[in-house]
A and B are shown apart, each in its own frame.
Chain A
Amino acid sequence: MAAEITYIDAIREAQARALREDPRVFIYGQDVGAFGGAFKATKNLATEFPGRVLDSPISEDAMVGLAVGAAIEGMRPIIEMQFADFSTVGFNQIVNQAATLFWRTNVTCPITVRLPFGGTSGGGPFHSQSLETIYAHYPGLIVLTPATVEDAYSMLLEAVAIDDPVIFCEHKFLYRHLKAEKLPVEALPVGKARIAREGRDLTIVAYSAMVQDAMEAATELAPEGWKVEVVDLRSVKPLDTDTVMASVARTGKLLCVGESWPWGGVTAEVIARVASEGYGLLDAPPQRLNAKDTPVPFHPNLWAAHRPTVRAIAAAARKILRQ
């Protein structure tokens, strides 16, 4: 059977299932109702579940605040941000209201905030951001970064079920480019990383769309005699240190790849943990590869050079492998 289910289909299916199985779930966001969402992530859901898929005004702050209030009263809201880049308007409500509620009051905040994140050619500075780092930095939030169609489905279902605020980072490029044959029946739980490709000579840790690029880089290196292991973090917070550490124990060499900016990012976090807890595992200094430290450029030429590419990942890998 041909691969027919796309990453965005999986997200829609997960939401449909959540709405169907749990009357406490509702979706709130801009254009999510009749229009089905800017990316069609909620296509037909407003019809199938009348009154539970609501159009909001352009008010990210109020959207998240409303979700928190609804959650206090027992609902399980899903907020769709039209682009991750706009979530910063609701940043205060996410990090100061949602993320602190349980810690301050012992009342849980089971909201899910879906962020279409990551870059696509021509997106430009305000339609391309990866914000997983900023949200992971704040205590009280769960941050998920599915890299596969299967994970987009199962992790979204789990996100709705988790009693804490979840920032669900869906990569826009993967929406329609990634396809699978069917939806999974069972899955790795949130908090566990996945060995996407087994190897022996080098560990590449990646997440979201970069997992695909890392896999291609590993394939490129195979004919040169290198067996590269690729770890898909799946969730950035919690970050599965154990799986990463076990991989580095096998290979002794580490390259972390992330689409977001370098300063204090996920790649820095992984390396900090491996350096402090697994120093004796390292046969070469750990390295990371991130986007350039500038806003995401518009022009496809610039954009292609701004983020790590398959070639850049392979080149960085070779440098470590030849140490």
Chain B
Amino acid sequence: MPQIPIIMPQLGESIAEANIVNFLVKPGDHVEADQDLIEVETDKATMTVASPCKGKIEKFSAQLNESYAVGATLGQIEATQEEAERLGLDVLTARKSSDHEEVVKPGSISDRNRVQPTIRGLPVPANAAGASYLSPRLKARMDELGLHAADLAGIAGSGAAGRVTVEDFEKFIASLEKQKMSKASTMRVAVADAMRRSWTRPLATVGLPVVIDAVLAHRKASNPKPGPALYALRALAIALAENSAVAGRLVGSKIVHPSAIDVGFAVEAEDGVLVPVIRDADQKPLKDLTQRYNELVELARERKLPADATGGSIATVTNFGTFGLIWATPIPLPEQTLVLGLGAGRRMPFWDEAKGQFVPVMEAYLTLSFDHRVLDGGAAGRLLQRIGELMKQPEKL
């Protein structure tokens, strides 16, 4: 009876191999064409290998938890001659069991079913080419001047494939010398460095309009008056206390969970931004935080924040509404995953279903920028929705 090979199928674009995780049938079983025989796992998904024809499982040569290349033979099915011809399948000639059979052994040198590395043993070409290539000499010069790749963004490269050569670089530096230059403040350099480091991550933003009449009314009736950002801060803190995983940090393949719900808020100070922190912002109600918040704002503006009032926060709130902006995509601090932005309130028409007409409300946009490696749009959206919900009942914050 003809032996039909069971072959590792194509598993998706750019997938070269898959791991055997489960055998769904065993040698001797009778199977139908297209029946699932083996479960395999790739980088992206778990998939199955199906039977090429109706027949009986002769043997599996692949082993559990080993990887095999696309196209590798994983086993054999014994099929009838008619079945084989019907399907026009490649056939391994039937062999006596005493003959030496090519057994696919993981790790053996002659095992051609293993994935072979490409070019000279390296999985990726190690060429230095292309616009992003920085030669060792260029890197050395940049280090000398304290520059980073971001600073080269403005330079057009004249080298091969558009790379910036040392000559381009020196010309650029020389041309800068001709223009008016002033020394950037320490604050500016520090912020620049933080933003550059933050930007090395894939950041995304989601936005949600929130009706803030209740917040405005609550604020008017309070003494002292809490800053608008404090309402957003408390809402964020409560939402994070309910689910802090979204504020975790990704380091390699591990997620570092926040240990306390410390939330910071942005204060413009001189040439930059400072971020004082409210510790355990989920533990105290708004009215107990107001005074502290206002103190911190003042201290920040005067650049007299004490050490224990900065650093260690797990998320930040920024109120750009004070500048009249209705919408913005803030950038989280480099060590944080989330930043919540509050835009300016404006009178907007809101459809009141009960009344059957548009009614005026005060609406402000909340925007949440986040490190997309840690959470996706869904989780970000749900967090924003929860914050918006909480802000509709300011008396409970």
Q: Which residues of A contact B (CB under 8 A)?
A: 252, 279-285, 322-323
Contact = CB atoms under 8 A, between A and B. Distances in A.
Contacts of B166: 252, 283
A281 B137 CA distance: 5
B136 A282 contact: yes
Contact of B160 (A252, A279, A323): A323
6 contacts: A280-B140, A281-B136, A282-B135, A283-B136, A285-B128, A323-B163
B138 interface: yes
- Which of the listed residues A252, A282, A283, A323 has the most CB atoms from chain B within 10 Å of its own CB? A283
Interface string B194-222: 00000000000000000000000000000
**Interface of chain B, main secondary structure:** helix
A280 B159 CA distance: 18
**Interface of chain A, main secondary structure:** loop
B139 interface: yes
Contacts of A285: 128
Contacts of B135: 252, 282-284
Nearest to B139: A280
Interface string B150-169: 00000000011001011000
B159 A323 contact: yes
A323 B168 CA distance: 12
B225 to A, nearest CB: 58
A322 B157 CA distance: 12
A316 B212 CA distance: 70
A263 to B, nearest CB: 17
Interface in B120-138: 128, 135-138
Contacts of A283: 135-138, 165-166
A43 to B, nearest CB: 51
Contacts, number: 27
Contacts of A279: 136
B272 to A, nearest CB: 33
Contacts of A322: 160
A322 to B, nearest CB: 6
Interface string B259-291: 000000000000000000000000000000000
A84 B160 CA distance: 43
Contacts of B136: 279-283
A281 B136 CA distance: 7
Given A280-B139, A323-B163, 18 more contacts: A252-B135, A252-B137, A279-B136, A280-B137, A280-B140, A281-B136, A281-B137, A281-B140, A282-B135, A283-B135, A283-B137, A283-B138, A283-B165, A283-B166, A285-B128, A322-B160, A323-B160, A323-B165
Nearest to B143: A280
A111 to B, nearest CB: 43
Contacts of B138: 283
Contacts of B139: 280
Contacts of A252: 135, 137, 166
Contacts of B140: 280-281
- Which of the listed residues B128, B137, B140, B159 has the most CB atoms from chain A within 10 Å of its own CB? B137
Interface string B103-115: 0000000000000
Contacts of A284: 135
A217 B29 CA distance: 75
Interface string B322-354: 000000000000000000000000000000000
A49 to B, nearest CB: 55
Nearest to B138: A283
Nearest to B129: A323
- Which of the listed residues A279, A282, A284, A285 has the most CB atoms from chain B within 10 Å of its own CB? A284
Nearest to A280: B140
Contacts of B137: 252, 280-283
A226 to B, nearest CB: 12
Nearest to B158: A322
A322 B160 CA distance: 7
Q: Which 9 A-B pairs have the closest CB atoms?
A: A280-B140, A283-B137, A283-B135, A283-B166, A279-B136, A323-B160, A252-B137, A280-B136, A282-B136
Contacts of A281: 136-137, 140
A73 B194 CA distance: 75
A277 B138 CA distance: 16
A284 B140 CA distance: 13
A252 B128 CA distance: 16
A323 B135 CA distance: 10
A251 B106 CA distance: 51
A282 B163 CA distance: 14
A228 to B, nearest CB: 15
A252 B138 CA distance: 10
B390 to A, nearest CB: 55
- Which of the listed residues B139, B163, B166 has the most CB atoms from chain A within 10 Å of its own CB? B166
Nearest to B165: A283
Contacts of A280: 136-137, 139-140
A279 B140 CA distance: 9
Contacts of B159: 323
A323 B162 CA distance: 10
Nearest to A253: B137
A281 B160 CA distance: 18
Nearest to B137: A283
Contacts of A323: 159-160, 163, 165
A58 B165 CA distance: 58
A127 B159 CA distance: 44
A172 to B, nearest CB: 39
B186 to A, nearest CB: 28
Contacts of B128: 285
A45 to B, nearest CB: 52
Nearest to A323: B160
A321 to B, nearest CB: 10
B158 to A, nearest CB: 10
- Which of the listed residues B135, B138, B165, B166 has the most CB atoms from chain A within 10 Å of its own CB? B135
Contacts of B163: 323
B208 to A, nearest CB: 50
A282 B134 CA distance: 11
